[in-house]
Amino acid sequence: NIDDCWQVARVGGNGTIIEDPVRFPSGIKALTANVHRRGLKFGLYTAAATHTCQRRPGACQHAYIDGQTYCDWGIDYLKIDQCGSCPTPKNITWLHFRQMFDQCLAATGRDIVESVESCGDPASCGQYVAKTATMWRTGGDIQSNWKSVLGNAYTNNRMAAVANSNPGHFNDADMLQIGNVGLSLDEQRSHFAIWCIMGAPLLIGTDIIHATNATVDILTSHALIAVNQDPGLHGAVQGVLTHGVADGVGVAPCDGSAQQQWTVDGGAIIHRSTGLRMTVPHCLRAPRPVGPGVWVHLSPSNATSVCDGLNQKFDIFANNHTIGVGCDPGACLNLYGGGGAGDNTWVQTFAKCTADPRDRWVFDPSAGTIQSGLGKCMTNASIPDAVHNTVDTWVKHLSDGSVAIVLVNLNDTSAQDVSFNFSDAGIAPGVAMRVTDLWSNKDLGNVADSFTVKDVASHASSAIKLERV
């Protein structure tokens, strides 16, 4: 795939897109044919706006002519970014491309994968995105660090039902960071295993020419790739996180939906559509003098908590637009910013209120919205449940009836044993299952009821498959 900066202008009465003649002297069509002769597929990039992220011509109000051009050039994949603006809503641009690609398929027998950015809400764009795209980004741009990898995985997990109810369409958790500086080898293996079990597109995001043997070993794990490519039992291509997430509070572009409406009642901040209350788990305090606390959860009323319900009490200070935390005097609500996809997405406590826009909030009682200083509105969200959980359990039921499992040690410092109860995969008590290690392809024996992997290192994981004996 070629990213941004391949295009330079539009020409003619219909505004046909033109490739950079210096970088591509033979043209994109010739380059595509060359790639095809080598047995490979070829992809391009655009944006559903007037300009791309690098200020090159975008697809705004040109999706029909661009779609025809890309068909004529013989491309196999198009990434549609969301930088900039356009009078035409981006989902309409997606649809116009889809219509042209459907015509291309009918005329040539060649399908073009349409990859769009982005859709992360199953209740809004999740209702229509599969009709307009083959795959869609579900979160922000991934970074080469552990928090970002987990953040993108958790956001992607929230959209699992959309992919699983639309066979041939996929949630895109963003490109792989295998081989890049910032992740340990254990973290890279966990990253790859999670993406495989999620049925996520496996787009390599490193320099493959200079890839190390360790990088190549991870990226060519045949057993895990087979899990990724398996259509899933009853078409459920995406495995899901069965343990490790919680109902929490995040932010998203303001859209007026019920998901973004809140009521403030006697210090309680209540999510209108679910009736759940913003909660600081276990009344935990943020570390002093300055530091992030815990992600804010959504929970039923708990006036009998260890801090007498103060973990569900907040002070909205209209004079400086901050929200104080009842169980942690001096602390305020803040947008998480630890690097990567979770940045400015989840709401956490923070030990000190500042003038940073991530600390600022405006409550509109009439609309019921709470808008951050960065312009997005509070909403309910799936968040990492690091307070209650030290192991993430990912499960995918495969098309042949076997079950793939990835167990991730979330402990930041220590190794621990990780276990899986077969009942969590719907396996009846006493039924013996053959356990296979998906990295080594080693037969680990026949086991019933549960399986434990000893001494899994911090941020490492175990990937196994269960098959009936």
* Residue numbers annotated as active site: 81, 141
Q: Which long-range contacts (CB under 8 A, 24 or more apart) does 330-334 make?
A: 331/285, 331/286, 331/293, 332/359, 333/296, 333/359, 333/361, 334/292, 334/358, 334/359
Q: How many CB atoms lie within 10 A of CB 360?
A: 21
Q: In what order do the strands lie in the sheet with 432-437?
A: 240-243, 391-397, 403-409, 461-468, 432-437, 443-448
CA angle 59/60/66 to nearest 5° reads 35
CA-CA-CA-CA torsion sign (125, 131, 132, 137): positive
* Closest-CA residue to 284 (of 307, 302, 304, 303): 307
Q: Give the end-to-end CA distance of the chain in Å, rounded to a whole number.
A: 43
Burial status of residue 455 (CB atoms within 10 A of its CB: 0-12, 13-18, 19 or more): exposed
Q: Which two tokens stand for residue 416?
A: 């621990």
Total residues belonging to the chain:
469
HSE toward the beta carbon, residue 247, CA cutoff 13 A: 12
HSE toward the beta carbon, residue 312, CA cutoff 13 A: 22
CA angle 153/159/160 to nearest 5° reads 85
> Distance (Å, rounded) from C-alpha 285 to C-alpha 280?
9
